[in-house]
Amino acid sequence: MKKIAVIITRGGWNNLFQACEWVTLAAASGMEVSAYFRDEAAGRMTTTKIKELTMSPDYRGREAFVRDLLKKENKADLTKIMQTAKETGSVKFSVCKDSLRYFDLKVEELIPELDEVQTTEAFWKEAILPADQVLTF
């Protein structure tokens, strides 16, 4: 089975959505996927922040239109997208331990779709080194 590692750093909702969509597609194609949220993306992995549909500046003036479109297409709930990815195939979602400290977050605040909190070094050894491909978002 091919392995793919996905590093997600930017915290804009559209970036998180795109990364989760690619994770789902990779899992559906039979790949083993390890996704790692760090920096701003890790700061969004709480039960409250994950629901905020904040867009990057490139969507300025179109945010409401895009939000409505995503809701209409059932793509507005990142936790559901993450659950679907895990149901689709071999997917593991991790969050960076150091990034949690940067945002003063506690493990209890994190979404249940995350499988573990780990250091960057641990993700490097476990997911990056054996990966056939690495994607960054």
Q: Supply the pLDDT for residue 61.
A: 93
Q: Which residues of the chain have pLDDT under 70?
A: none
Q: Give me the architecture of the 3-136 domain, per CATH.
A: 3-Layer(aba) Sandwich (3.40)
Give the model's pLDDT for residue 67: 87
Domain residue ranges in the chain:
3-136
What's the confidence (pLDDT) of residue 20? 97
Residues whose CB falls within 8 Å of the CB of residue 88, separated by 6 or more in sequence, listed in order: 24, 27, 28
pLDDT for 13: 87
Strand ranges inside 3-71, DSSP E: 3-8, 32-37
pLDDT of residue 63: 87
